[in-house]
Amino acid sequence: MLTNNFKSQYLIEQPANGSSSAAGVPSDRWLLACVIMLMMWGVLAVYSSIAYFAETKLTTAGTLVGEHAVKLVISLLVMVIVSKIDYKTITRLSRYTLLLSWLFLIIVTLYGTEVFGARRSLSLGAFSFQPSSLATVSLLVYVAFLVSKKQDYIRDFSRSFLPILGWILPTCALIGLEDFSSAALLLVMCLIIMFVGRASLLHIAALVLVGAIGAGALLAQSAERQSRVTNYVHQVIHIESEDFQLASGYQAQQAHIAIAQGGFFGVGIGKSTQRDFLPAPYNDFIYAIIAEEYGLVGAAFVLMLYVVILFRGIVVIAKRARDTLGVLLAVGCTLGVTMFAFVNAGVATGLLPVTGLPMPFISYGGTSMLFSGVLIGILLQISKSREESYA
């Protein structure tokens, strides 16, 4: 049960009758509606942006969009299945899936398929798998479990902070070897879970310092990462440059052009021109295509859907969870979906340096979509397990 201090600090109320039964309590319909709308929007956005990629694969855009739709259906099914499983059962499995993800991350570093200079996926016949997605979900769930389990001594350095640190650092380090942005974002999400779980601010600051040192080391080993940061800070690339096509800021510049062309109402569905110039417009820069075709109105609506998910996950589901574990899991799962979306949009609009993070349920792909479905499924399960007085 929640400690009185935790409940008062985070306004987690208790029902008058003290009941903790979830019988007859439905899943959060707002959350599910937002996810389904994002999926539908993603099908349209992928269809608009994937034509050039289809040509390189000697296939058609319709075929790839069909594959994308199948992956969305699988993600939806996984979401429904996970929502039927008690989240305490899922947390008990998270330790083993996290260890398994470490093995996969080591394998992908040594033998993974290299794309754009990084090894992030394992090819399994006709399928590819990104272990970082499994590691991200597993770590978020396991950190939430550890923080909830150690509430009675959460500020103890040796009994609480060090054991949690022993899971966070290896996971982020293994991911960061090939995917710096995902590792950095995962560390931030873990810090937020620890903060919500009343961990010592001094311990959190120490973890921030360790993370900053690790980030510096990872940046130092990669010239490409350094160029992205340098280009972002100094903004030295200009459209007029003769070296524009080869410049490290090419992706960001093309995304800015797409957004500028979209204006307020957009150029129209399927009428994007920048999809022929943007690298991976169906994935990393899909938000730029959305802004070009649907304008500021459409781009803002997509972000609003993620804001609603953030609100429902943190303000509604987490607050009404039946125990500390439910609160922390809801926070972690919500952040695991929304922060990736906000970073993807931030990259496309120039607010953040160029990264390779997808927009959940919209970007083309399989692994990230599958595990985003797992996160939403856990959220739906927590919403069903809330106190009956909130139903």
Domain boundary (202, 221, 240) is at 221
Do the domain assignments include residue 232?
Answer: no
1 lies in some domain: no
Whether 120 contacts 178, CB under 8 Å: yes
Query: Contact, 204 vs 155, CB < 8 A?
Result: no
Total-model pTM: 0.86
Q: What is the mean pLDDT of residues 339-346?
A: 93
Q: What is the pLDDT of residue 377?
A: 96
Rounded Cα–Cα distance for residues 130 and 308 (Å):
28
Q: Is the pLDDT of residue 10 over 70?
A: no
Instruction: Answer for the pair 259, 292: CB distance below 8 angstroms, yes or no.
Output: yes
State the pLDDT at residue 57: 65
Give the model's pLDDT for residue 80.
94
Domain-terminating residue out of 178, 206, 221: 221
Look up tokens 């997509």; give the residue: 302
Are 106 and 58 in the same domain? no
Tell me the backbone φ, ψ of residue 280, rounded to 5 degrees.
50, 55
294 and 176 both lie in a single domain = no
In a domain? residue 103: yes
Residue 102: is its pLDDT beyond 90?
yes
Question: Is there a single domain that holds both residue 78 and residue 106?
Answer: no
The gap from C-alpha 319 to its chain's centroid, in whole angstroms, comes to 21
Split into its structural domains, the chain has a count of 2
**Which residues in 113-126 are b (16+ Cβ under 10 Å) and which e?**
eeeeebbbbbeeee
How far is 136 from 360, CA to CA, in rounded Å?
14
Render pLDDT for 210-261 as a digit per residue (tens, 0 to 9).
Answer: 888 887 776 766 666 666 666 666 554 444 444 444 445 677 778 888 888 8
70 and 101 both lie in a single domain: no
**How confident is residue 391, by pLDDT bands cut at 50, 70 and 90?**
very low
Through-space distance between the first and last CA atoms of the chain, rounded to whole angstroms = 20
In a domain, residue 238? The reply is: no
Same-domain check for residues 303 and 168: no
Q: Domain for residue 2, yes or no?
A: no
Domain identity same for 73 and 105: no
> Does the residue 295 lie in any domain?
yes
Of 204, 221, 238, which residue constitutes the final position of a domain?
221
Cβ atoms of 305 and 37 closer than 8 Å: yes
Percent of the chain at pLDDT exceeding 70: 79
Q: Which residues of 281-298 are buried (b: 16+ CB within 10 A; e: fewer)?
A: bbbbbbbbbbbbbbbeeb
User: Does residue 207 share a domain with residue 151?
Assistant: yes
Contact assessment for residue 389 and residue 15, using Cβ atoms and an 8 Å cutoff: yes
* 201 & 275 share domain: no
Domain residue limits at 136 = 94-221
CA gyration radius for the chain?
21
Report d(CA 341, CA 329) in Å as an integer: 19
Instruction: Work out the percent of the chain whose per-residue pLDDT is above 90.
Output: 49
The two tokens of residue 370 are: 């599958």
In the block, tokens 């000697």 appear at: 58
Choose the weakest-confidence range: 59-63, 102-106, 163-167: 59-63
The whole-number average pLDDT for the span 272-287 is: 82
Distances (CA, A) of 312 to 42, 90, 136, 142, 255: 21, 21, 21, 22, 30
Q: Are residues 202 and 267 in the same domain?
A: no
| 89 part of a folded domain | no
Looking at the structure, tell me whether residues 177 and 300 fall in a common domain: no
What value does the mean pLDDT of the chain take? Answer: 82
Give the model's confidence band at 111: pLDDT under 50 very low, under 70 low, under 90 confident, else very high.
confident
Higher pLDDT, 17 or 167: 167
Whether 231 maps to a domain, the answer reads: no
Which residues in 9-41 are b (16+ Cβ under 10 Å) and which e?
ebebeeeeeeeeebeebebbeebbebbeebbeb
User: Are 80 and 107 members of one domain?
Assistant: no
364 with 273, same domain? yes
Residue 315 has pLDDT above 90, yes or no: yes
Residue 237's pLDDT is what? 47
Closest C-alpha to 225, from 336, 110, 148, 117: 117
Does residue 36 register a pLDDT over 50?
yes
pLDDT of 270 higher than 70:
yes
Q: How far apart are CA 181 and CA 70, in angstroms?
A: 28
**Average pLDDT, integer, range 74-87:** 94
